[in-house]
């Protein structure tokens, strides 16, 4: 049973047992301090060498940094201690001794490169700044879930082992499934669409997506967390409204509930939840504005996908979250619906942070004949997707939705230089373990 007192709860006048990691030992001669750290903070343990049991002093001051210890003693007020209180120990147990050779320094005094940190995440997460990222990530997911519930969306979980891909054939991870070829799912796209025709109507999912892309960049992962939304009877503009609501809710949750974590990252002054409506630019306006910046060597023409430098130039120009709407149909996937009055133009949209794309979405093609035609045009065999298309024959309402990259949301919110900072154990070209 965990009957210890958290360091943050130790009050003067009490006798407590605290337990945690040895953060630091400061030996000043006649007096020495052991700084003990737990998930709530740090507390000073005082050793007055001449007045205390020799064994206790020897054990307490001889223990290696990052060992786990349990200390019982009286809590006293001490204005000079970092937290204003200290403990005079009656007993100290070394619960788990740490090797003196640490692969990285959790006190943060010695910097470690990202690769060393990722190889030793347990130690890395003893640092306040690293821990703060994951506390904020958890709050993002919590507040997003709450905001989805406020939109009357039901949380779903869909298979990650699938028979076919949806987001382009080259980015699939094949696996063997009882002697049959299968794949890790790239997106819950088709499953979430099937749910809008069910009695659930409006759904969301937070789960892993797998992309076998070759990119080894600071903003791509091979396993990412997708925050997906889909709603019956929504068009693309209503889906964009929902997207804005969810992203703002994530920021607001962090602003309200993560002050300590923001301080650990030194972001308490600059962190701001976006206000006002996100501007909505058409694709055509976007390429005109990118061309006008003069940042690209070659001018973009209608039908081009936006290169990364183009996204950056436009992001700097716009300076806040924004949408790009009305993309050319030919560069959006088969499931995105075209505008009724112009087949060249799709209802697909992207939502952008000034530095990168966060979301793709759109209204979906819900008419059976058009959908099957779309598969054929993209060179996909509609037969293979029969489980999906056939449900469009039994009453599939118009619908729209989107997918938001969870790690990109955290990365852009905190200004992290590398998406891997926002993942406990990232999967990329080099990393399959830990």
Question: What residues line the site for ligand AMO (CB under 6 A)?
Answer: 167, 187, 189, 211, 213, 220-221, 224, 226, 228, 357-362, 401-403, 405, 407-408
- Of 10 and 358, nearer to ligand AMO (C-beta) is 358
For the chain, the C-alpha Rg in angstroms (whole number) is 27
- Annotated binding residue at 357? yes
Q: How far is the CB of 361 from ligand AMO (least distance, A)?
A: 5
Neighbours of 161 (CB within 10 A): 11
- Annotated binding residue at 65? no
Catalytic residue list contains 78: no
Q: How far is the CB of 403 from ligand AMO (least distance, A)?
A: 3
Decide: 296 and 339 in contact? Cβ < 8 Å. no
- Annotated binding residue at 409? no
Q: How far is the CB of 350 from ligand AMO (least distance, A)?
A: 7
- Of 73 and 348, nearer to ligand AMO (C-beta) is 348
**Distance, CA of 255 to CA of 221 (rounded, Å):** 27
SS3 per-residue string spanning 244-275: HHHHHHHHHHHHHHCHHHHHHCCCCCCCCCCC
> Exactly one of 117, 137, 202, 219 is catalytic; which is it?
219
- Annotated binding residue at 212? yes
- Annotated binding residue at 224? no
> Exactly one of 37, 137, 202, 220 is catalytic; which is it?
220
- Of 104 and 414, nearer to ligand AMO (C-beta) is 414
Give, rounded to a whole angstrom, the gap between the first and last alpha carbons of the chain. Answer: 30
- Of 106 and 310, nearer to ligand AMO (C-beta) is 310
- Of 5 and 412, nearer to ligand AMO (C-beta) is 412
What residue is closest to ligand AMO based on CB? 405
Q: How far is the CB of 284 from ligand AMO (least distance, A)?
A: 20
Catalytic residue list contains 408: yes
> Exactly one of 408, 420, 421, 427 is catalytic; which is it?
408
SS3 per-residue string spanning the chain: CCCCCCHHHCCCCCEEEEEEEEEEEEECCCEEEEEEEECCEEEEEEEEHHHCCHHHHHHHHHCCCCCEEEEEEEEEECCCCCCCEEEEEEEEEEEECCCCCCCCCCCCCCCCCHHHHHHCHHHHCCCHHHHHHHHHHHHHHHHHHHHHHHCCCEECCCCCEECCCCCCHHHCEEEEECCEEEEECCCCHHHHHHHHCCCCCEEEEEEEEECCCCCCCCCCCCEEEEEEEEEECCCHHHHHHHHHHHHHHHHHHHHHHCHHHHHHCCCCCCCCCCCCCCCEEEHHHHHHHHHHHCCCCCCCCCCCCCCHHHHHHHHHHHCCCEEEECCEHHHCCCCECEECCEEEEECCEEEEECCEEEEEEEEECCCHHHHHHHHHHCCCCHHHHHHHHHHHHCCCCCEEEEEEEHHHHHHHHHCCCCHHHHCCCCCCCCCCCC
- Of 106 and 406, nearer to ligand AMO (C-beta) is 406
Decide: 366 and 396 in contact? Cβ < 8 Å. yes
Q: How far is the CB of 133 from ligand AMO (least distance, A)?
A: 16
- Of 5 and 193, nearer to ligand AMO (C-beta) is 193
- Annotated binding residue at 364? yes
Catalytic residue list contains 211: yes
Q: Residue 396 contacts by C-beta under 8 Å, 6 or more apart in sequence? A: 196, 197, 366, 368
Q: How far is the CB of 330 from ligand AMO (least distance, A)?
A: 16
- Annotated binding residue at 256? no
- Annotated binding residue at 405? yes
Q: How far is the CB of 262 from ligand AMO (least distance, A)?
A: 23
Q: How far is the CB of 357 from ligand AMO (least distance, A)?
A: 5
- Of 267 and 358, nearer to ligand AMO (C-beta) is 358
- Annotated binding residue at 213? yes
Catalytic residue list contains 346: no
Catalytic residue list contains 219: yes
- Annotated binding residue at 219? yes
* Catalytically annotated residues: 211, 213, 219-220, 357, 360, 408
Binding site residue list: 167, 211-213, 219-221, 357, 360, 364, 405-408
Binding residues for L-aspartate: 167, 211, 360, 364
Q: Which residues are annotated as a binding site for ATP?
A: 211-213, 219-221, 357, 405-408
């Amino acid at each position: 049973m965990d009957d210890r007192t958290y360091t943050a709860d130790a009050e003067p006048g009490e006798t407590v047992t605290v337990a945690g990691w040895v953060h630091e030992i400061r030996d000043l001669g006649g007096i020495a301090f052991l700084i003990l750290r737990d998930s709530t903070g740090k507390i000073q343990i005082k050793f007055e060498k001449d007045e205390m049991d020799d064994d206790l002093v020897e054990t307490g001051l001889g223990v290696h940094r990052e060992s786990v210890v349990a200390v019982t003693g009286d809590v006293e007020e001490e204005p000079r201690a970092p937290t204003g209180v200290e403990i005079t120990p009656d007993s100290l147990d070394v619960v788990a001794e740490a090797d003196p050779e640490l692969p990285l320094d959790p006190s943060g005094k010695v910097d470690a490169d990202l690769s060393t940190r990722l190889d030793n995440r347990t130690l890395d997460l003893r640092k306040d700044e690293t821990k703060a990222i994951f506390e904020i990530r958890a709050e993002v997911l919590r507040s997003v879930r709450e905001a989805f519930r406020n939109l009357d969306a039901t949380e779903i979980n869909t298979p990650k082992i699938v028979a076919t891909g949806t987001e382009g054939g080259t980015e699939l991870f094949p696996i063997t499934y009882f002697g049959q070829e299968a794949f890790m799912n790239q997106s819950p796209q088709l499953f979430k669409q099937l749910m809008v025709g069910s009695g659930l109507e409006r759904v969301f999912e937070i789960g892993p997506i797998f992309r076998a892309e070759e990119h080894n960049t600071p903003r791509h992962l091979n396993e990412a967390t997708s925050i997906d939304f889909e709603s019956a009877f929504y068009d693309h503009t209503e889906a964009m409204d929902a997207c804005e609501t969810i992203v703002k809710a994530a920021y607001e949750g962090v602003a309200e509930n993560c002050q300590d974590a923001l301080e650990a990252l030194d972001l308490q002054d600059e962190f701001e939840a976006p206000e006002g409506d996100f501007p909505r630019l058409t694709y055509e306006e976007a390429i005109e504005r990118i061309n006008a910046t003069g940042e690209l060597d070659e001018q973009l023409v209608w039908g081009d996908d936006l290169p990364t430098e183009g996204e950056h130039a436009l992001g700097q120009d716009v300076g806040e979250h924004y949408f790009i709407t009305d993309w050319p149909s030919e560069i959006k996937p088969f499931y995105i619906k075209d505008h009724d009055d112009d087949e060249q133009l799709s209802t697909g949209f992207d939502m952008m942070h000034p530095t990168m794309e966060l979301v793709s979405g759109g209204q979906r093609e819900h008419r059976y004949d058009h959908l099957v035609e779309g598969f054929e045009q993209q060179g996909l065999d509609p037969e293979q997707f029969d489980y999906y298309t056939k449900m469009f024959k039994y009453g599939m309402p118009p619908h729209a939705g989107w997918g938001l990259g969870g790690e990109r949301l955290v990365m852009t919110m905190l200004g992290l230089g590398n998406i891997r900072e926002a993942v406990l154990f990232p999967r990329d070209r080099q990393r399959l373990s830990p």
